[in-house]
Each structure stands twice: as C-alpha cells, then as structure tokens.
A and B are shown apart, each in its own frame.
Chain A
C-alpha cells in the first residue's frame, strides 16, 4: 500500500514562531487531508488538498502532487496549536482507503 511519512516527528515552538510540517507519500493520490488532533483525541479537519495551495487564517497548506509531498505552514503559533498533526492520503491505485502518517507532535510554549 501507499506509504506516508511525516516530518519532523516532534516540534517544540515558542509562541509566535512559524513552522513547516512535511508529508511525503509514495504514490499518486486523489485525496490528501491534514488533520489536527487535540489533547482530547478529537480530529479536526484542516485542509482537503490533493493539489495546489490553500489558506485558512494562520494555517496554509501546499501539495505538489507531481513530486509527492505536501507542506503545512503554521504562522504566529499559539498554545492552542499544540497537538498532533496528521497527513492522510488516498492512493489513486487503492480502493478509497485513507492511509495516515504517524503524525507530528507540536508543542507550543508560552
């Protein structure tokens, strides 16, 4: 199946700092989503972005499908940004299964 690798595995930020999270995938995709999992376990949709660039407030994401990677940018980080960020993809060659990376754990310190 498709492999999804996220980096870095852990990230510690000072409040107000900017950061970039990366997601590499091993096959062509027709679905790519970024999620934020809060400390209570709830997964929140951030972006549906199989290609192109999107922005939502302090967050933005870019997927370069031809090079098989996606980037999530966090600007002016806040303590509420802490949690685990997951990238998940559906391969064009798979039957609609969403495959998750292992996640990046972000800790924002005040």
Chain B
C-alpha cells in the first residue's frame, strides 16, 4: 500500500521546546517537501529536498530544520526559534521536482 505517512496527527508542545514531525514515503520518489498552512490560507513552502543528503530552504525556513539521510524519510524539526509555530504541517513528495506532488495527511501542531 503505497503512500505518504505523517505522524503524529496532532501534536502539542510547550513554548521553548523543539519538536520533530515525521514524514515517510514508500513511493520511491526522489523529491520531498514540507509546507505550512495557517487557517484560511494557502500553503507555504518551508524546505524541500531534491535528493538524499541535499535540501534547500523554501520561503519560510526560519525556525525550522530538516534532514534527508534516507530516500524514504524527511523529518522536520520545529525549533524554539520559530515564533509562531501553531499551524497545520503538510509533507509531500514527487518523482522529481517538476512532477506532480502528492501529499500526506498532515500534522496539526499546537503550542500551549
């Protein structure tokens, strides 16, 4: 059963804590992406990775970090430097960067 999984579905964090969101895909896609969505708005790109061991900043990378050690996995860490981290986070993947992107179910992060 191929697809993109994200965990957890809901995440609560105290101010000042780092938290890592998981994204795994078994579609054999080279490219992976992280987006942030705020209520009533479109998606904004945080980071993307074209290939293993490579990643690039998107439009709103400040306060976030990523790694791409395996083709299947692209975890996102929301650090304490992110001033307003409460949002819906979506991971996506595609065969290559210009191809159709497929999205996971998302993680809702709430900072208490």
Query: A: which residues have CB within 8 A of B?
Result: 1, 4, 30-31, 33, 35, 40-43, 45, 48, 86, 88, 90, 95-103
Contacts and interface: CB of A to CB of B under 8 A. Distances in A.
Contacts of A97: 45, 48, 58-59
B43 interface: yes
A41 B41 CA distance: 12
Interface residues of B, number: 26
B64 interface: no
14 contacts: A4-B42, A30-B98, A41-B88, A41-B106, A43-B103, A86-B43, A88-B43, A88-B101, A96-B97, A96-B98, A97-B45, A98-B33, A100-B42, A100-B43
A45 B102 contact: yes
A48 B95 CA distance: 13
Given A48-B100, A100-B42, A102-B42, 6 more contacts: A31-B99, A41-B90, A88-B101, A96-B50, A98-B33, A103-B42
Contacts of B44: 100
B18 interface: no
B55 to A, nearest CB: 12
Nearest to A4: B42
**Chain A at the B interface: SS class:** strand
B4 to A, nearest CB: 11
Contact of B105 (A1, A42, A96): A42
Interface of B: 31, 33, 37, 41-45, 48, 50, 56, 58-59, 88, 90, 92, 97-103, 105-106, 108
Contacts of A98: 33, 45, 101
B98 A43 contact: no
A48 B96 CA distance: 14
A84 to B, nearest CB: 9
Given A41-B88, A42-B106, A86 B100 contact: no
A50 B48 CA distance: 21
